[in-house]
Amino acid sequence: MTMLVKICGISDVAGLEAVRAAGAEMCGLVFFPPSPRALTPAQAAALSAAMPGGPQRVGLFVDPADALIETVLAALHLDMIQLHGEETPARCAEIREKFGRPVMKALGIASAADLDALAAYAPAVDCFLLDAKAPPGAPLPGGNAAPFDWTLTAGRSIPRPWLLAGGLTPENVAQAIAASGAPGVDVSSGVEAARGVKDPARIAAFVAAAKAA
């Protein structure tokens, strides 16, 4: 089975080219201003236009108003919408229906009980991203280089396709896949040279390690 790989927080052409060259299926474009990886719709449109084709474009939003999604979709094509806030199942379904894009819902996981929430979301979304819960007071709900206990998902039936995220790196991704049973992985901080600055060599190493796992 193909291991799906998403590299999140791409903000320049070198990063996008590295994702394409490495063979990752998806890249994430962040539309959440507090993030060091955030893009304006115009910046994202220019970046995406610099490389027609290539990885699927996933737009990352945090509790977005409809107007923001509308503005982004008017500026560039998105293949998928990632919701990384406190969106309810009803809000996920509304966004999926209104904007006609597959929805990936991110959920913070700290204990086995957190996985119980997946059942309520399953009818409203196309896939899940299971990330560590943000540390208390963290300014970002994700992208914090924090892992969760990978064994929590081992042997669990996850009711949609899913990606593992949180603190993954080229060095630990194979171990994370083996421990969690994840069919796909997503990374941001672990492939950066500095916060918000992607490192093409680490992107290549991450994708190679994930695909070989």
Ligand X SMILES: O=C(O)c1ccccc1N[C@@H]1O[C@H](COP(=O)(O)O)[C@@H](O)[C@H]1O
Binding string, residues 104-143; x marks residues near ligand X by CB under 6 A: -------------------------x-x--------xxxx
Q: Which 3 state secondary structure label does DSSP give 117?
A: helix
Q: Which of 24, 186, 198, 207 binds ligand X (CB under 6 A)?
A: 186
173 binds ligand X (CB under 6 A): no
Q: What angle do CA 173, 29, 189 make, to 5 degrees?
A: 35
Convert residues 1-40 into a mask of x (bound to ligand X by CB under 6 A) and - (unbound): -------xx------------------x-x-x--x-x---
Q: Which amino acid is at 175?
A: Q
Selected binder of ligand X within 26, 27, 187, 210 (CB under 6 A): 187
Closest CB to ligand X among residues 52, 204? 204
Three-class secondary structure of residue 22 per DSSP = helix
Residue among 145 and 179 whose Cβ is closer to ligand X:
145
> At closest approach, how far in Å is the CB of 87 from ligand X?
12
DSSP state, residue 38: B
User: CA–CA separation, 51 vs 60, rounded Å?
Assistant: 19
Say how far apart CA 149 and CA 169 lie, in whole Å: 15
CB of 134 to ligand X, least distance (A): 8
d(CA 148, CA 119): 20
For residue 105, give Cα distances in angstroms to 22, 24, 67, 77, 139: 25, 20, 19, 19, 19
12 included as an active-site residue? no
Asked if 141 and 85 count as a contact pair (C-beta separation under 8 A), the reply is yes
Residue 64 or 96 with smaller CB distance to ligand X: 64
Residues lying near ligand X in the complex (CB under 6 A) are found at: 8-9, 28, 30, 32, 35, 37, 60, 62, 84, 129, 131, 140-146, 165-168, 186-190
The catalytic site residues sit at 8, 131
